[in-house]
Structure 1
Amino acid sequence: MAKGGKKEGKKKAVALGYEADKDSAPKVLARGSGLVADRITELAKEKGVTLYEDAALVEALSAVDIGREIPEELYKVVAEVLAFIYALDNHAARAARG
């Protein structure tokens, strides 16, 4: 999930999802600003979803309708973010195992 980006002082958040066996690209699962962004972030934390902050990416993803796949021009940057998050999560899992 990406968060960040401020418009008129309001925080923005976008949640992405990807099911390799069903989706050809990540989809926007939720997006919002202000209190909605706070709730998206809160739910992500409760579910153990890694958060990533990038105001420019959130701004670009905010233009995508909920339930729609991200546009091709965002594939590379989203892939880089996901690779970073997967590596971070794997590192944390290995550290937890000792």
Structure 2
Amino acid sequence: MTAKPPRQAIALTYDGVNTPSLSAKGDDELAEAILAIAREHEVPIYENAELVKLLARLELGDAIPEALYRTIAEIIAFAWYLKGKCPPGFEQQAEPSLPLLGGPES
């Protein structure tokens, strides 16, 4: 029997000006605590095990790597859309222009 890999979670901080950075990461119980805090504050949760593995390599406070800018930008844009937010100078559209991104559940 193979051992089930630990559940992982990461959280990113983005202020709208600087590159998003890693603000939390953890496995198992800490991952569940990160997810609980996100739910409590109505932060959209995006599940993608491969992306979490890549970002979990970073240290807390590290900016996301340039190679992931577009991927993270699309996720942030969709999360903002879900919250009814948009960057200054942009108008909110009636329908999302980004596809719903998905991935395997972790």
**Band of TM-score, shorter chain:** 0.7 to 0.9
Give the TM-score, by structure 2 length: 0.72
* Distance in 2 between residues matched to 1:83 and 1:75, nearest whole Å: 12
- Superposition pairs of residues 1-98 of structure 1, within 5 angstroms: 8-21=4-17, 23=18, 25-90=19-84
Considering fraction of residues, name the structure with more strand: 1
Partner of residue 95, structure 1 = none
The ranges of structure 1 where at least 4 consecutive aligned residues each deviate by more than 6 angstroms after the TM superposition are none
Considering fraction of residues, name the structure with more helix: 1
Structure with greater Cα Rg: 2
CA RMSD of aligned residues (A): 1.7
User: For this pair of structures, how many residues does the alignment match?
Assistant: 83
Q: Which 5+ residue runs of structure 1 have no aligned equivalent? A: 1-6, 92-98
Q: Which 5+ residue runs of structure 2 have no aligned equivalent? A: 86-106
Q: In the TM superposition, what whole-angstrom CA distance separates every residue of 1:7-39 from its partner, at most 9, and x where no partner exists?
A: 843111000001134x2x000000011111000
Amino-acid identity (%): 35
Give the TM-score, by structure 1 length: 0.77
